[in-house]
C-alpha cells in the first residue's frame, strides 16, 4: 500500500501551476533543487564504486574513492542566485579512477513545489 | 531523502479533478504537516518498500525535460539593458535613440524569436541526459554533443542575424547615414555577441564581471560628474573591441569543451593513458582566457578609478568582486547592524574614535578577504587548467587558509564590537539584554553568510560542502 504522504507529495507536484514561483517560494525551491540533484543524481554517478550518500548534509554526496584520492571528492555544482536551476558536472569512474565530465547538466527546479505552499 | 513516484503531469482534461484534489491535498497537508515533512526528510537513507527504478530514470520520468545538457544558449536582451545598449553603441543622440528602441523591441519580440529558435534544442538536450544512462562510450557521447553544438551554433547565428537585420531596418527607416548606421550596427552586435551567454562560474568566473556593463553603471551613477561620465564612456568604447574579443574566445571554447572533453577522454582510453588529466588541453585555453579577461578588467578598473569619486570607485570594486566570487566576496562578519544598536549610546566626544575603529576593522577584514580570494582564484584556475582535476594538497592548503580567514575576521570584528560596547556601556541607557540580542543576531547573520557560500557552490571547485560546513562550525563555536 502506498503511504498517504507519498500520494500527497506526488499529487501536489503535478497539481501546482507550471508558471514560475513567487519570490517567497525561492528558498524552498533552492533547497529542494540541490538536495534532489545531489541525492538522486550523484549517487548514480559512482559507476559501481562504493559510495555513500550523506543525505544529512542536504546538498552533497560524498564518495569514498574518487579521483584517485581516497576520501576526497565531490561533483562540481553551482546554484543560480534566483534558485531556478542547478548546474553540475557528472562524475564517472573507469577502472577505479573517477573523472569530472566536461559537459554540464542543468537541472531546472522552478516547476515543482513540494509543500504546496508555492502557487 | 525526497521520494518521487513515477507519474505523469495532469493533462488538460483532468484539470477540474486535479483542482479539487489539490484543495483536498492542501487541506490534508495543512491538517497533517508531519506527513509531508516525514516523507521529505526521509528514513535514514533506506529505500522505500516498493521496487525502485534507478534514481535518474525515476526523476526524469516524473519530471520530463527537467534535466538538460547545458548548451550555452544566449540570454535574451532584457528591458533593463535598453540604456546600456544605447550607451555602448557609441552613437550620437539620434542613433542612440534608435538603438534604445531596438533594445526595447528585442526584449519582447527578440525574446520570442529566441524561444522559437532555441526551443528546438530542448528535446535533444534532454535526450542527451537520457543517453548518459545507457551509453558509457565517451566517443559516442562526443559525437552526439558535437552535433548538438553545431546545431546550436547555427541557431544562435540565426538569432543574432535576425536581431541585426531588425536594427539595420530601424536605422535605415530613420534616414541615418549608411556609414554611421553600419558603424552602430557593428558595435552593437559585437557587444551583443560577446555578452549574450551566461558566464560559467566554475570554468571562467571572471567573465561574470562584465567590465563594460560595470563601467556603464559607474558612468551613470549620480555621484559621477558629466566630465568623468564622458571619459568613462570613451574608456569603454575604446576598449570594447578588445574586451569583446577576449570574451568571445572564452565563450566559444566553453561551448565546445563538452564534446572536446569527451573526445579527449575517449582518446585516453583508446591509448591506455590515464583519464585523470586527459582533458587539460581542452580546459587550459579556458583558464588562460579567463585570466586574460580578469587582467583586462583590473586594468580598466584602475583607469576608471582615476576618474571616479572614491564612493563610486568603491562600488565598481565591489561589483567586480561580488560578480566574480559570489557569496565568497561577502563580508561575513560585517558589524554595521550591531553598531547601529549601540550608536545612539555613544558620547559625542568618542564618536570620531569609534568611527575610526569601525573603518579600520572593515579595512582589516577586507584585507583578509582579498588574501583569501587571491588564493582561491589561483587554486580554482589550476583546477580548470588541469582539466577539472582536484588536488589533495591544494585542498588541504586552501581549507587551512579558509579556516584561518574565518577565525581572524571573526576575532577582528569581535574586538571592534567589544571596544565600542565598552565605551557605550558608560551610558545610563545601556541595555545589556538588547546588546546580547544584537550579538546573537550578528552571529546568526554570519552563519547564514557562511551557509550561502556552501549552498551556492561558491567554493565547490576546491572545498566540499562538508569541509566548508566544518570550517564554519569550528570558527563560529569558538
For residue B456, the number of C-alpha atoms closer than 13 Å in the C-beta half-sphere is 19
C-alpha cell at B249: 574566445
Q: Is the pLDDT of residue A93 over 60?
A: yes
**25-44 of A, contacting B, C-beta below 8 A:** 30, 32, 34-36, 39-41, 43-44
How far apart are alpha carbons B103 and B98 in whole angstroms?
9
Which residues have CB under 8 Å from A79's CB, separation 6+? Answer: A30, A33, A34, A85, A86, B455, B456, B457
Report pLDDT for B50: 43
- Average pLDDT value for chain B: 85
Report pLDDT for B448: 86
How far apart are alpha carbons B451 and B439 in whole angstroms?
18
Cβ–Cβ contact B330 with A under 8 A: no
- Average pLDDT value for chain A: 43
How far apart are alpha carbons B251 and B196 in whole angstroms?
10
Band (B57; pLDDT cuts 50, 70, 90): low
- Residues of A with CB below 8 A from B390's CB? 67, 69, 72-73
Report pLDDT for B428: 86
A76-80, B14-18, B71-75 — which one is most confidently predicted on average?
A: B71-75
How far apart are alpha carbons B410 and B439 in whole angstroms?
12
Q: Is the pLDDT of residue B120 over 70?
A: yes
Band (B219; pLDDT cuts 50, 70, 90): very high
C-alpha cell at A110: 522552478
Cβ–Cβ contact B17 with A under 8 A: no
Report pLDDT for B303: 98
Residues B436-444: what's their mean pLDDT? 93
Residue of B119 and B44 predicted with greater confidence? B119
CB atoms within 10 A of CB B180: 14
Residues B136-152: what's their mean pLDDT? 96
Between A10, A43, A57, which is nearest B466 by CB? A57
- Report the phi/psi class of residue A116: left, alpha or beta, with left for phi > 0 and alpha for psi in -120 to 50: left
Kindly report, residue by residue over B265-309, the tens digit of the pLDDT: 999 999 999 998 999 999 999 999 999 999 999 999 999 999 999
Q: Is the pLDDT of residue A19 over 80?
A: no
List the one residue out of A37, A29, A92, A90 whose CA is nearest residue A59. A37
How far apart are alpha carbons B403 and B40 in whole angstroms?
32
- Residues of B with CB below 8 A from A99's CB? 265, 275-276, 278-279, 388-389
Residue of A58 and B112 predicted with greater confidence? B112
Report pLDDT for B14: 35
Band (B237; pLDDT cuts 50, 70, 90): very high
Q: What is the DSSP string of B268-333?
A: HHHHT--STTTTHHHHHHHHHHHHHHHHHHHHHHHHHHTTS-HHHHHHHHHHHHHHHHGGGGS-TT
Cell 555577441 appears where?
B193
Q: Is the pLDDT of residue B384 over 60?
A: yes
List the one residue out of A68, A65, A59 whose CA is nearest residue A47. A65
Residue of B123 and A111 predicted with greater confidence? B123
Q: Which of B139-143, B219-223, B364-368, B387-391 has the lowest mean pLDDT?
A: B387-391
Residue of A43 and B368 predicted with greater confidence? B368
- Cβ distance A59 to B455 less than 8 Å, yes or no, reads yes
CB atoms within 10 A of CB B107: 16
Residue of A109 and B377 predicted with greater confidence? B377
- Cβ distance A94 to B275 less than 8 Å, yes or no, reads yes
Contact assessment for residue A63 and residue A90, using Cβ atoms and an 8 Å cutoff? no
Helix (H, G, I), strand (E, B) or coil at B449: helix
Report pLDDT for B394: 86
Kindly report, residue by residue over B349-375, the tens digit of the pLDDT: 888 899 999 999 999 999 999 999 999
Give percent above pLDDT 90 in chain A.
2
Phi–psi pair at B68, nearest 5 degrees: -140, 150
- Residues of B with CB below 8 A from A36's CB? 2, 59
Overall residue count recorded for chain B in this entry: 478
Between B18, B28, B326, which is nearest A15 by CB? B18
Residues B40-44: what's their mean pLDDT? 29
Cβ–Cβ contact A85 with B under 8 A: no
Between A54, A97, A112, which is nearest B274 by CB? A97
Contact assessment for residue B338 and residue B439, using Cβ atoms and an 8 Å cutoff? yes
A61-70, A97-106, B333-342 — which one is most confidently predicted on average?
A: B333-342
Kindly report, residue by residue over B399-429, the tens digit of the pLDDT: 999 999 999 999 999 999 999 999 998 888 8
Give ∠ CA B44-B47-B49 in degrees, rounded to 5: 125
Check: complex ipTM more than 0.95: no
Residues B123-137: what's their mean pLDDT? 88
How far apart are alpha carbons B152 and B158 in whole angstroms?
10
- Cβ distance B258 to A104 less than 8 Å, yes or no, reads yes
Report pLDDT for B276: 87
- Residues of A with CB below 8 A from B257's CB? 102
Q: Which of B21-25, B105-109, B281-285, B424-428 has the lowest mean pLDDT?
A: B21-25
Residues B139-154: what's their mean pLDDT? 97
Kindly report, residue by residue over A78-90, the tens digit of the pLDDT: 555 555 566 777 7
Between A74, A105, A115, which is nearest B69 by CB? A105
- Pick the residue of A78, A103, A106, A118 with the most B CBs within 10 A to test the interface with B by mutation: A103
- Cβ distance B63 to A5 less than 8 Å, yes or no, reads no
Cβ–Cβ contact B393 with A under 8 A: no
Which residues have CB under 8 Å from B371's CB, separation 6+? Answer: B401, B405
Q: How many helices (H) and strands (E) does chain B have?
A: 18, 1
Band (B458; pLDDT cuts 50, 70, 90): confident
How far apart are alpha carbons B292 and B298 in whole angstroms?
10
List the one residue out of B258, B262, B281 whose CA is nearest residue B135. B262
How far apart are alpha carbons B105 and B128 in whole angstroms?
34
- Cβ distance A2 to B35 less than 8 Å, yes or no, reads no
Q: Is the pLDDT of residue A119 over 60?
A: no
How far apart are alpha carbons B32 and B451 in whole angstroms?
30
Report pLDDT for B184: 97
Residue B469's closest chain A neighbor by CA? A57
How far apart are alpha carbons B254 and B200 in whole angstroms?
8
Cβ–Cβ contact A19 with B under 8 A: no
How far apart are alpha carbons A65 and A53 in whole angstroms?
13
Residue A88 forms beta bridges with which residues?
A77, A105
Report pLDDT for A81: 55
- Cβ distance A97 to B388 less than 8 Å, yes or no, reads no
How far apart are alpha carbons A111 and A14 in whole angstroms?
9
Report pLDDT for A32: 41
- Pick the residue of A36, A102, A119 with the most B CBs within 10 A to test the interface with B by mutation: A102
A43-57, B49-63, B133-147, B448-462 — which one is most confidently predicted on average?
A: B133-147
Q: How is residue B107 annotated by DSSP? A: I
Residue of B189 and B45 predicted with greater confidence? B189
Q: What is the pTM of this model?
A: 0.77
Report pLDDT for B296: 98
Give ∠ CA B437-B450-A29 in degrees, rounded to 5: 100
Residues B99-114: what's their mean pLDDT? 95
- Cβ distance A69 to B454 less than 8 Å, yes or no, reads no
Band (B442; pLDDT cuts 50, 70, 90): very high
Report pLDDT for B198: 87
Amino acid at each position: 500500500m502506498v503511504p498517504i504522504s507519498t500520494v500527497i507529495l506526488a499529487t501536489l507536484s503535478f497539481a501546482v501551476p507550471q508558471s514560475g514561483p513567487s519570490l517567497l517560494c525561492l528558498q524552498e525551491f533552492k533547497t529542494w533543487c540541490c538536495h534532489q540533484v545531489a541525492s538522486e543524481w550523484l549517487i548514480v554517478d559512482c559507476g559501481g564504486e562504493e559510495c555513500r550518500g550523506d543525505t544529512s548534509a542536504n546538498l552533497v554526496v560524498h564518495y569514498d574513492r574518487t579521483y584517485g584520492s581516497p576520501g576526497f571528492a565531490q561533483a562540481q555544482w553551482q546554484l543560480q542566485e534566483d534558485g531556478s536551476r542547478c548546474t553540475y558536472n557528472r562524475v564517472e569512474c573507469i577502472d577505479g579512477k573517477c573523472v569530472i565530465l566536461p559537459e554540464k547538466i542543468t537541472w531546472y527546479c522552478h516547476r515543482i513545489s513540494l509543500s504546496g505552499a508555492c502557487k | 531523502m525526497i521520494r518521487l513516484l513515477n507519474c505523469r503531469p495532469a493533462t488538460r482534461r483532468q484539470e477540474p479533478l486535479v483542482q479539487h484534489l489539490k484543495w483536498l491535498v492542501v487541506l490534508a497537508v495543512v491538517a497533517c504537516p508531519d506527513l509531508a515533512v516525514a516523507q521529505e526528510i526521509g528514513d535514514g537513507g533506506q529505500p522505500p518498500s516498493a521496487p525502485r527504478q534507478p534514481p535518474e530514470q525515476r526523476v526524469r520520468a516524473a519530471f520530463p525535460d527537467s534535466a538538460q545538457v547545458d548548451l550555452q544558449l544566449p540570454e535574451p536582451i532584457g528591458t533593463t539593458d535598453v540604456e546600456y545598449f544605447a550607451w555602448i553603441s557609441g552613437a550620437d543622440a539620434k542613433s542612440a535613440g534608435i538603438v534604445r528602441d531596438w533594445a526595447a523591441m528585442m526584449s519582447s519580440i527578440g525574446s520570442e524569436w529566441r524561444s522559437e529558435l532555441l526551443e528546438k534544442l530542448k528535446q535533444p538536450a534532454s535526450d542527451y541526459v537520457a543517453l548518459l544512462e545507457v551509453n558509457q562510450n565517451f566517443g559516442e557521447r562526443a559525437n552526439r554533443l558535437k552535433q548538438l553544438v553545431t546545431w546550436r551554433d547555427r541557431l544562435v547565428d540565426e538569432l543574432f542575424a535576425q536581431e541585426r537585420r531588425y536594427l539595420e531596418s530601424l536605422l535605415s527607416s530613420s534616414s541615418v547615414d549608411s556609414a554611421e548606421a553600419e558603424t552602430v550596427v557593428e558595435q552593437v552586435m559585437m557587444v551583443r555577441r560577446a555578452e549574450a551567454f551566461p558566464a560559467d562560474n566554475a570554468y571562467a568566473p571572471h567573465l561574470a564581471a562584465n567590465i563594460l556593463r560595470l563601467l556603464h553603471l559607474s558612468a551613470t551613477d549620480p555621484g559621477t560628474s558629466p566630465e568623468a561620465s564622458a571619459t568613462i564612456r570613451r574608456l569603454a568604447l575604446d576598449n570594447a573591441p578588445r574586451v569583446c574579443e577576449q570574451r568571445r574566445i572564452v565563450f566559444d571554447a566553453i561551448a565546445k569543451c563538452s564534446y572536446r572533453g569527451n573526445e579527449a577522454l575517449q582518446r585516453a582510453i583508446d591509448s591506455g593513458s590515464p583519464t585523470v588529466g586527459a582533458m587539460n588541453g581542452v580546459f587550459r585555453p579556458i583558464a588562460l582566457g579567463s585570466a586574460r579577461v580578469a587582467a583586462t578588467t583590473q586594468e580598466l578598473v584602475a583607469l576608471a578609478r582615476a576618474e571616479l569619486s572614491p564612493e563610486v570607485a568603491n562600488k565598481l570594486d565591489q561589483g567586480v568582486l561580488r560578480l566574480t566570487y559570489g557569496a565568497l566576496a561577502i563580508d561575513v562578519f560585517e558589524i554595521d547592524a550591531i553598531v547601529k544598536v549601540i550608536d545612539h549610546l555613544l558620547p559625542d566626544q568618542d564618536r570620531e574614535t569609534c568611527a575610526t575603529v569601525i573603518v579600520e576593522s572593515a579595512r582589516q577584514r577586507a584585507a583578509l578577504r582579498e588574501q583569501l580570494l587571491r588564493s582561491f582564484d589561483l587554486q580554482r584556475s589550476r583546477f580548470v587548467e588541469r582539466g577539472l582535476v582536484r588536488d589533495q594538497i591544494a585542498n588541504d592548503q586552501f581549507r587551512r587558509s579558509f579556516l584561518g580567514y574565518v577565525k581572524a575576521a571573526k576575532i577582528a570584528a569581535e574586538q571592534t564590537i567589544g571596544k565600542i560596547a565598552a565605551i557605550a556601556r558608560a551610558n545610563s541607557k545601556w541595555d545589556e539584554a538588547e546588546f546580547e540580542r544584537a550579538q546573537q543576531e550578528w552571529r546568526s547573520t554570519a552563519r547564514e553568510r557562511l551557509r550561502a557560500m556552501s549552498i551556492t557552490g561558491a567554493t565547490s571547485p576546491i572545498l566540499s560542502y562538508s569541509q566548508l560546513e566544518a570550517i564554519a562550525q569550528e570558527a563560529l563555536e569558538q
